[in-house]
């Protein structure tokens, strides 16, 4: 049975679900592009992360810290591996003492993370829990109830964890104790995307893309809003046209902030003077990437776009993956990597935008960007495969 992805509205949220080929998709995905590999990607090792995330919306992504790979499944398994693929520990948070009362049908519903910092591993859940595990042993350090679902990874900086919940709370948490330092409530439109942007912490502020189409800046000390600027606009008569969410994590480089909305614009903002350096008509909900002078986006039509970050001018656009639900981009040397919903991983030239190599990973599809280290490319599939390829 061929799988395609479509977008549905449910309970006021935009949800990503898998449908059978007999169901009509919103857009017909482009056929799998034929690629003549200029090199053959080499798999180094693979492992299993429980049942993965299944067909659920998820932002669970592996992370690497201190020569260790951390990954998690929706059900509750969190695992650590060496860079050679040896499993170091395995913790199932549903088996932690006293946690069963926070599960739904036995599932921890992990969805936000993973973040590794302070010798701990942090991961949030749709069951409104934030976990901190010891990075070396996997033992629980603390668990804190959040005011809503945690579907985006926490951020760390300036001595706090910044956590955003799906019902519109921005929360600062003490990373050592799990105590909530401050909690502010953000206005939400009546209709939003399922996801949330990962906060950015820098120079005493928390920068957050919001569901109302704004990018807002808050004080690290007390959560007080410093300023806010709107980049996404609700326009049109359909529900999709009215969505203005900024779900892609803003990118901060020096004093330049790059942000993109689902139904609005891609902008470059100068944080020193608050002025817009440039603005272009692109729409996306995946995270962006920066490599040198290039800004890379996977737009909402699954087009991969390479822009000059100083001017916003387009270098190239790869459209052969239209509506294949590609991941956010990752940069590996002279290549850009994206995966798609059928489980193909593509190497694309940064110079030309043309395909260089393709590998069929399967695993019910790829849903988050590959994680790149000095020697490895690490991929997590929907069915819980964790695969490491040699960096080309």
CATH number of the structural domain spanning residue 114: 2.40.128.630
Residues 225, 306: one domain?
Answer: no
pLDDT at 367: 95
pLDDT at 12: 30
Domains: count for the chain: 3
In contact, 152 and 198? CB cutoff 8 Å:
yes
Residues 233, 182: one domain?
Answer: no
Rounded CA separation 365/316 (Å): 26
Rounded CA separation 322/202 (Å): 35
Residue finishing a domain among 267, 283, 299: 283
Residues 187, 79: one domain?
Answer: yes
- Alpha-carbon 254 to chain mean position: 22
In contact, 352 and 358? CB cutoff 8 Å:
no
Residues 167, 211: one domain?
Answer: no
User: Does residue 392 fall inside a structural domain?
Assistant: no
Rounded CA separation 161/159 (Å): 7
Taking 3-state DSSP, the helix, strand and coil percentages for the chain, each rounded to the nearest 5, stand at: 5, 45, 50
Residues 250, 315: one domain?
Answer: no
User: Does residue 167 fall inside a structural domain?
Assistant: yes
Residues 180, 76: one domain?
Answer: yes
Residue finishing a domain among 236, 256, 283: 283
Residues 185, 293: one domain?
Answer: no
Residues 132, 168: one domain?
Answer: yes
DSSP 8-state class, residue 139: -
Residues 159, 239: one domain?
Answer: no
User: Does residue 390 fall inside a structural domain?
Assistant: no
Residues 206, 181: one domain?
Answer: no
Write down the pTM of the prediction.
Answer: 0.90
pLDDT tens for the chain, 392 residues long, are 233 333 333 323 334 333 333 345 578 999 999 999 999 999 999 999 999 999 999 999 999 999 999 999 999 999 999 999 999 999 999 998 766 666 777 899 999 999 999 999 999 999 999 999 999 999 999 999 999 999 999 999 999 999 999 999 999 999 999 999 999 999 876 666 667 889 999 999 999 988 888 899 999 999 999 988 888 665 655 555 556 677 889 999 988 999 998 887 899 998 888 789 999 999 999 999 999 999 999 999 999 999 999 999 999 999 999 999 999 999 999 999 999 999 999 999 999 999 999 999 998 999 999 999 999 999 999 999 999 999 97
pLDDT at 240: 52
Residue finishing a domain among 216, 250, 283: 283
Residues 158, 82: one domain?
Answer: yes
User: Does residue 50 fall inside a structural domain?
Assistant: no
Domain that holds residue 93: 58-194
Q: Is 285 exposed, middle or buried (0-12, 13-18, 19+ CB in 10 A)?
A: buried
Rounded CA separation 145/178 (Å): 9
Residues 247, 146: one domain?
Answer: no
User: Does residue 324 fall inside a structural domain?
Assistant: yes
Torsion of CA 7, 208, 261, 230, to 10 degrees: 130
pLDDT at 96: 83
């Amino acid at each position: 049975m061929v799988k395609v992805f479509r977008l549905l509205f449910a309970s006021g949220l935009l949800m990503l679900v898998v449908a059978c080929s007999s169901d009509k998709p919103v857009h017909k995905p482009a056929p799998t592009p034929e690629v003549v590999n200029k090199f053959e990607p080499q798999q180094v090792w693979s492992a299993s992360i429980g049942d993965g995330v299944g067909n659920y919306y998820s932002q669970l992504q592996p992370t690497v810290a201190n020569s260790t790979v951390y990954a998690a499944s929706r059900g509750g398994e969190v695992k650590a591996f060496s860079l050679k693929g040896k499993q170091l520990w395995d913790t199932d948070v549903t088996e932690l003492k006293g946690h069963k009362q926070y599960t739904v049908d036995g599932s921890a519903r992990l969805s936000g993370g993973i973040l590794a910092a302070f010798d701990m591993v942090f991961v949030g859940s749709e069951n409104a829990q934030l976990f901190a595990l010891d990075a070396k042993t996997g033992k629980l350090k603390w668990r804190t109830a959040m005011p809503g679902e945690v579907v985006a990874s926490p951020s760390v900086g300036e001595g706090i964890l910044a956590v955003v919940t799906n019902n519109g709370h921005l929360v600062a948490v003490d990373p050592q104790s799990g105590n909530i330092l401050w909690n502010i409530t953000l206005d939400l439109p009546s209709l939003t995307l399922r996801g949330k942007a990962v906060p950015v912490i820098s120079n005493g502020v928390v920068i957050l893309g919001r569901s109302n189409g704004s990018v807002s800046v808050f004080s690290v000390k007390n959560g007080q809003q410093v300023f806010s600027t709107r980049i996404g606009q609700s326009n049109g008569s359909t529900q999709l046209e009215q969505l203005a969410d900024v779900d892609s994590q803003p990118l901060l480089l020096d004093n330049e902030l790059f942000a993109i909305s689902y139904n609005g614009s891609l902008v470059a903002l100068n944080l020193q003077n608050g002025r817009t350096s440039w603005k272009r008509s692109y729409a996306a909900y995946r995270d962006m990437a920066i490599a040198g002078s290039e800004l890379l986006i996977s737009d909402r039509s699954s087009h991969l776009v390479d822009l000059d970050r100083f001017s916003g001018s387009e270098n190239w656009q790869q459209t052969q993956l239209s509506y294949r639900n590609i991941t956010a981009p990752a940069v590996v040397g002279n290549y850009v990597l994206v995966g798609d919903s059928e489980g193909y991983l593509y190497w694309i030239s940064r110079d030309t935008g043309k395909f260089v190599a393709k590998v069929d990973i399967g695993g019910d599809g790829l849903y988050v960007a590959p994680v790149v280290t000095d020697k490895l490319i690490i991929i997590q599939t929907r069915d819980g495969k964790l695969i490491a390829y040699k960096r080309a």
